[in-house]
Structure 1
Amino acid sequence: MRPRSCPAWVPAAVLLATVAQLLVAEYWPGIERFADKAFGARLVAYPLLMLAVPVAWWLVSRRRADPAAPPYGAFTLVMLPFLVDVTGNSLDLYDAVAWWDDLNHFGNWLLLCTGLGLIVCARVRPRWAVVVLVTGIGALLAIGWELGEWYTFIRHGTELDTAYEDTLGDEALGTLGAFVAGLVVASVLGRRRARTEAPRAAAG
């Protein structure tokens, strides 16, 4: 029996829910929790980042003679961290819950890197190479994200007092999340290959 695939409406719903909250944050006046959080920039950047992976997959896939079905489940995992981040701001969790930011850096990198790993590591072997590759991608993305936060917030002094400590912790948590994602991806891909190769071995 073939495993169920994620329908296309799921990542579309994640994208729409994220954009809707960004529009409220940017254009609905008088909501204090959204003040000084660069939601204007997020309204542009987040949808572009969420669509970057599906667009890249489509550009590569269309050049293949026998393209695979779109991995909507992986697209959803890549998009979910942006929804989680915006929802956390909408519910004021970053200010109300002390550990929310730390949980986000671990959990969101786990989701993001699992999605990316399922897309880019389908042909990577052995399993340890999958773990190393996914962890490395996550570490690079964690550094890039912190550079973006520095440019947006810290450079102007709004979080200067705790910038260094917070940056190191966020990068460590993001990399740890990516490492766990690598283990998850290696396990999922291993099971997929076993299901694919078992009928071939039986036929041979």
Structure 2
Amino acid sequence: MTTMVATPAVRADWVRYAAVLAKVLLFGLLLSALIWPDLSGIKTKASTARLIVYPIGGMVLPLWWWAYGRTRSTLHRSFPWAADLLMTLPWLIDLIGNRLNLFDTVDWWDDAMHFVLWGFLTAGVLLAFAPRDLSRPITTLVALGFGATAAIVWEVGEYVTFVRNSPELATAYTDTLGDLTLGTSGALLAGLVLYQFRRKPTDR
């Protein structure tokens, strides 16, 4: 009997296909939100800002690679598809959650997403831009620095664009503190997991 073993090339192909599919789904949902805003789930949640920010978030790594990384990056010899997938998933999953109304109907969904999606985003950014030989403490500090900063920017953006003029304002302080804690915790876990993943076999 022949045993099928996935080679690195095969695994790389699957990551590439998954990243491309995530992009297609992301832009498909964004387009549908433009055409059918009432069905998007983001109509009253800063939809205009999301329709601007989400494409940028999904394309920032390919644009960086096209403008700089492919000729001058010392971290990657080819486009970092795994990082691209991880940096695309937060925007895609957020849109899917809003489209299915999960943020308003499932009590734990928003909290889980702040933890999980900040983990994905932080892991993607570290894979794309952080050197492989960073120590555990430095990797942790970088993850915390990026994750906490991104969480603060997100919460400020939410407040400015729709929370201050919505019924959510009454509970915004408590909710924001929880979201910041969860997002930063997700980023911390991502940094620790990525450090373990990047360690050389001889170091384990």
TM-score range, shorter chain: 0.7 to 0.9
Residues 51-106 of structure 1 show CA distances to partners (whole Å, capped at 9, x for unaligned) of 11222234332333876111101100010011110000111101110110000000
The percentage of counterpart residues that share the same residue type is: 38
Once the two structures are superposed, the pairs formed by residues 125-204 of structure 1 within 5 Å of their partners are 125-190=134-199, 193-194=200-201
Once the two structures are superposed, the pairs formed by residues 24-39 of structure 1 within 5 Å of their partners are 24-28=32-36, 30-31=38-39, 33-39=41-47
Letter in 2 for 1:69: S
Letter in 2 for 1:186: Y
For structure 2, the residue ranges without an aligned partner over 5 or more in a row are: 1-6
Residues 152-199 of structure 1 show CA distances to partners (whole Å, capped at 9, x for unaligned) of 112324421011111111010000000000011101111xx347x9xx
Letter in 2 for 1:41: A
Question: Does structure 1 conserve the Cα–Cα contact (< 8 Å) formed by 2:87 and 2:125?
Answer: yes
Residue of structure 1 in register with 2:12 after alignment: 5
The alpha-carbon distance between structure 1 residues 29 and 142, as it changes in their structure 2 partners (threshold 3 A), is closer
Question: Does structure 2 conserve the Cα–Cα contact (< 8 Å) formed by 1:113 and 1:137?
Answer: yes
Residue of structure 2 in register with 1:21 after alignment: 29
1:106 to 92, 115, 123: 115
Structure 1 residue 8 displacement after superposition? 3.2
Question: Does structure 1 conserve the Cα–Cα contact (< 8 Å) formed by 2:40 and 2:99?
Answer: no
Equivalent pairs, count = 194
Question: Does structure 1 conserve the Cα–Cα contact (< 8 Å) formed by 2:132 and 2:198?
Answer: no
User: Following the alignment from structure 2 to structure 1, what is the Cα–Cα distance between the partners of residues 178 and 50?
Assistant: 23
Q: Please say which of residues 136-145 and 113-122 is displaced more in the overlay.
A: 113-122
The DSSP-based 3-state class of the residue aligned with 2:72 is coil
Q: Please say which of residues 91-100 and 7-16 is displaced more in the overlay.
A: 7-16
Letter in 1 for 2:12: S
Q: Could you state the TM-score of these two structures normalised by the residue count of structure 2?
A: 0.85
The alpha-carbon distance between structure 1 residues 147 and 60, as it changes in their structure 2 partners (threshold 3 A), is same
Question: Does structure 1 conserve the Cα–Cα contact (< 8 Å) formed by 2:111 and 2:179?
Answer: yes
Aligned-pair RMSD on alpha carbons? 2.3
Q: Please say which of residues 55-64 and 10-19 is displaced more in the overlay.
A: 55-64
The alpha-carbon distance between structure 1 residues 43 and 30, as it changes in their structure 2 partners (threshold 3 A), is closer
User: Following the alignment from structure 1 to structure 2, what is the Cα–Cα distance between the partners of residues 149 and 31?
Assistant: 20
Q: Could you state the TM-score of these two structures normalised by the residue count of structure 1?
A: 0.85
